[in-house]
Structure 1
Amino acid sequence: MSKRPVVALTGARGYIGQNLLKKIEEKADVIALSRNGDNYEDSEHVKWRSCDLYSMADAEKALEGADIAVYLVHSMMPSAKLTQGSFEDMDVILADNFAQAAKKQNVKRIVYLTGIIPKDNEPLSRHLRSRLEVENILRAYGTPVTAIRAGLIVGPKGSSFPILSKLVKRLPFMVLPKWTRMETQPIALPDVLNALDKGLQDENLANKSVDVGGPEVMTYWDMMLKTADVMGKNPKAIPFPFITVNLSRLWVSMVTGASKEIVYPLIESLKHPMIVQKENYVEGVSNGQISFEESAKEALESERQDGIRLKLPELPSMKQDVRSVQRVSLPAGETADSTALYYVEWLESFLNPWVRTTVDDEYCCRIGTSFSEKPLLELSYSKERSTTDRALYYITGGLLTDSKKNTRGRLEFRKIPHKQELIIAIHEYMPSVPWFVYKYTQANAHLLIMMLFRHHLREKGYGNTHPPLKEENPL
């Protein structure tokens, strides 16, 4: 008998992940990854691991021993009590950590579930633009990637179908914006799982992007009507072409009760046709067999018989930590390392004479004031975890830090692969001041400083005055 492959499955407790785990554990040994993986019991072919993909060290440990890795990660839900930044920028960090960890652990292939990327001459929505950027980042370090691109997935949980079903259920009549007449190709959950399974098994799909869809091309209004028919409803429709996407996302969020973090990016994407494209078609993978009506019946029947509520993911319980992520331009000739040092220098120059900064021979930084010897923040440079493309500092002290609770707080400067852009991020920072004070003072001050620094880099730029600290070393 051939050796069972070892598959690392991210999001193993999520909507897609739970179902995929059941499907593949019969023929593979699975490393099931979750933020709270230690809370679950291992079985003969499933080993649970806790993993925070915002940490590259965690990602490396998570993928140890894996032959293939499945990437089902999305950052539309906040991951800290206070989250500053867009989901697009946070997705960059997650994907970059995962891709670099896969390279270090000699993972043979990555299978990535993403969205269909349309070619309709319209600027991509934020959601689809981010999905494509993640796909490119996963490919950036040389590990072959199989991208399974799907449109609306029909099942009892997830995001898109519960939104649609709640609209039908709660509205006796519906105003139909222009986007409800856009064509899409919905796909049933079992067909998506089959496509992912084939992506895991078929090495010929490596480095390919495969569109998948069900047997029908429909408009969103068609889907609403069929869902209403399954529910035994007959909603009245009022065409109204003047409602914009921005207005639509607001009333969809209000009617369904879903968080704007999920609804807004999804609704913005509905302006695009989401149809399987010929150049991305693979026989036996792209062509789902289950009709929309059949899959909608199955989802709604699950709700009735098993007590499964058609609902969106709930916000996780969180400690009082902070994640703040901003994207800035990277001047030509500069690196993440040199930009980090320049930021400390700029901070003193910009806030002169109130702020003073120092950098020692080990590149550790102290940020303080001119009227006190005690620093506001102490940043310890991690030489072992840094490269020219990523400068990592641990937040190790200072008056603004809760030193007892701040065990994993860190600041990083990270170059985005193949772009002259940089991510500046604070992770798991625990402030010393009371939470409500921090939220309305220090947190807003940090955002303002980041905005000004972004403007400074974009408008003024700076010369190559800070050469790289070292040659890039493997992580």
Structure 2
Amino acid sequence: MASHSDQYCIDLPTAPATENKILVTGASGFIGGELIPELIARGYKLRIMVRSNVAMYRERWPSVEVVVADVLDYSQLKEALEGIDCAYYLIHSLHSASRFQELDALAARNFRQAAEENHLKRIIYLGSLGDPESQLSDHIRSRIKVAEELQKGNIPVTFLRAAVIIGSGSASYQIIHHLVRNCPVFLFPVWAKSKCQPIAIRDVIRYLVGCIENKETSGKVLDIGGQDILTYRDMIKIEAQIIRKKRLFLNSGFSAMSIYIRMINALTPVDHDLIKVLLESCTNDVLCLNTDIKNMIPYEPLSYREALVNALPIEPKGNPIHKKGNDVSQLGLQPQVLGPPHKSMGFISDIRYFLLHKPDEPTLVHFDSLAERENYTFRILQRLGVEVTTFKILNVHKIGINAPVKNVFEELLQWNGDSSCWPNHIAKVVNRNNRLENLSIYLFGWTKFIPLFKLSAITIKKIPDAVGADNARYLLYKCRGGYPIGIFSMYVRSSIADQNEKEQSQLFLVVGFNFYGKERWSNRNLINRMWEAIHDRVTLNVMNRFKQLCEWRFDKFKKG
């Protein structure tokens, strides 16, 4: 049984009904990933339904039965529901594609019919708040239609209706949080005055678990919300207070939804289609129309401020934050499956992926003193075979990669203008005849103009030294042009246990800054500092994306 130390439901005022065998659909999503550990901790017999990656879920939750099924495949669904007493229906398409309402309805119809054939006792469905009599967004209306489709059968359906869910892995929270982090000025449209009753993920899970344990909730439509009723403007301002960001908030008569969607897409890591779906829902008030559940499962939900504070340090138990480019389904979040970095689609994407985004894993090697920096510089330059008196100022980034040195270096040899790891719409890489000896970097991809800078290979070391214990390989270039770099190297070696390096390989990206002959570290002017700050953020993203690519590729190689 799971530990209760980090469980939401430890003091829930209901008793586990462990005689029921439960199916959780949407196990790969944010809500499912939070719900499953709670049900395990309370002793339930669980089966979870996923569409792929069975081994990963069995490793994550060894006590849980895992089945592969798609709600659009009736035969798979019927088999997945065999022997189940109660089921959580946590599936929704959040695409803005024209067919998503049709597919949502078909999925719900299949599920209802398969559940009836298997004689289920109950279905619990988590949908959206919204007054059915008002002009609702397509997204909210589709969720209501799903509930109506499930309710057409003879199995009691508990329909929980929630507004914005606040948790570290929810798409709504990520939009709010990253907007406040990245946007200094807010121009609020008229629809930002719509009212919302946000609810903490803790309280959503408590209600979901409480419903399975309280038969009085069976067959009911129950609204769930937090303590506060707020406008979307209020919600953003409170987040700014919590993370201590001074922001300018202005009202605006400008309400073009498409422009706001693009702006949010550029400033947050959330998918464009998901942003569109969620923003269109902001035009409606989403408030609890009944409070019946407070009498059935009596406890005090968190305030919005408390929910935000809890979201800051807590990582989702099941899944990572939803990222752009992944499939948007199952409440908008996907399992932590290795995959390649999503390729940038243009200049705005490059700005978002390489300048605005800040990955969790830092790469910049920090030095406490000039002497420490110079010593580190000396050892690296000496290892690379560079004249140590020529380039004294080094900027060093380092990241561990769970793949062999040989595989990592082979990825380095594929560096070109089509790489998903490089901001080619800001600074396009051109290698003539697919050779790495001479590279040109063009600003904004304008290849008809003079390059931003050129790289001429000093050494391309493909075979490690026979006497070298670190299996090192590297690309080393001399640079010239309008970018203040003297040398540039991408260097990979085996990890060293004595240095507490846990991954198989360590990748270094080394730059010898040469500010037009002004090499003294202490005398860098503002322009030079800006160059280095931009370089650091871009390099941080390049290396994290390269790590992701290498580990995904090596994982595929191991699986054949």
Pairwise TM-score range, normalised by the shorter structure: 0.5 to 0.7
Deviation at 1:250, TM superposition (A): 3.2
Deviation at 1:287, TM superposition (A): 6.7
What is the match of residue 56 of structure 1? 74
Matches of 2:223 and 2:31, distance apart in 1:
17
- Note closer, same or farther for the CA distance 1:17–1:235 as it changes in structure 2 (3 Å cut): same
Deviations 1:163-221 (A, max 9, x none): 11111111011110112211111100010001101111122212211000111111111
User: SS at 2:126's partner residue?
Assistant: strand
Query: Which residue identity is paired with 2:222?
Result: V
Query: Which residue identity is paired with 1:41?
Result: R
CA contact (8 A) 1:37 1:49 kept: no
Matches of 2:153 and 2:167, distance apart in 1:
34
Deviation at 1:241, TM superposition (A): 2.5
What is the match of residue 206 of structure 1? 218
What is the match of residue 277 of structure 2? 265
1:151 matches 2:163:
yes
Query: Which residue identity is paired with 1:293?
Result: R
- Note closer, same or farther for the CA distance 1:8–1:281 as it changes in structure 2 (3 Å cut): closer
TM-score by length of 2: 0.52
Structure 1, unmatched stretches of 5+, are 79-83, 319-475
- Note closer, same or farther for the CA distance 1:37–1:144 as it changes in structure 2 (3 Å cut): farther
- Note closer, same or farther for the CA distance 1:172–1:284 as it changes in structure 2 (3 Å cut): farther
Structure 2, unmatched stretches of 5+, are 1-15, 328-336, 339-560
Deviation at 1:2, TM superposition (A): 7.6
Deviation at 1:284, TM superposition (A): 4.9
Matches of 2:90 and 2:113, distance apart in 1:
16
1:33 matches 2:31:
no
1:292 to 301, 304, 329: 304
2:260 to 225, 244, 248: 248
User: SS at 2:135's partner residue?
Assistant: coil
What RMSD, in angstroms, separates the aligned Cα atoms of the two structures?
2.8
1:133 to 138, 145, 157: 145
- Note closer, same or farther for the CA distance 1:177–1:30 as it changes in structure 2 (3 Å cut): same
Query: Larger Cα Rg: Structure 1 or Structure 2?
Result: 2
Deviations 1:127-178 (A, max 9, x none): 1110000001111122110011100000011221111111111101111011
What is the match of residue 378 of structure 2? none
What is the match of residue 13 of structure 1? 28
Matches of 2:220 and 2:66, distance apart in 1:
29
Query: Which residue identity is paired with 2:143?
Result: R
1:224 matches 2:264:
no
CA contact (8 A) 2:171 2:321 kept: no
1:164 to 163, 176, 185: 176
Query: Which residue identity is paired with 1:240?
Result: S
What is the match of residue 112 of structure 2? 99
Query: Which residue identity is paired with 1:113?
Result: L
What is the match of residue 351 of structure 1? none
Query: Which residue identity is paired with 1:94?
Result: A
Deviations 1:41-71 (A, max 9, x none): 2767411111111101111011111000000
TM-score by length of 1: 0.61
Matches of 1:9 and 1:227, distance apart in 2:
32
Deviation at 1:225, TM superposition (A): 1.0
Matches of 2:221 and 2:122, distance apart in 1:
13
User: SS at 2:250's partner residue?
Assistant: strand
Query: Which residue identity is paired with 2:118?
Result: Q
Deviations 1:97-144 (A, max 9, x none): 11111111111110000011226x531110111000000111112211
Taking only the aligned residue pairs, the percentage that are identical comes to 27
Query: Which residue identity is paired with 1:99?
Result: R
CA contact (8 A) 1:32 1:47 kept: yes
Matches of 1:166 and 1:257, distance apart in 2:
8
Matches of 2:192 and 2:298, distance apart in 1:
24
Query: Which residue identity is paired with 2:177?
Result: S
What is the match of residue 287 of structure 2? 275
1:24 to 33, 39, 45: 39
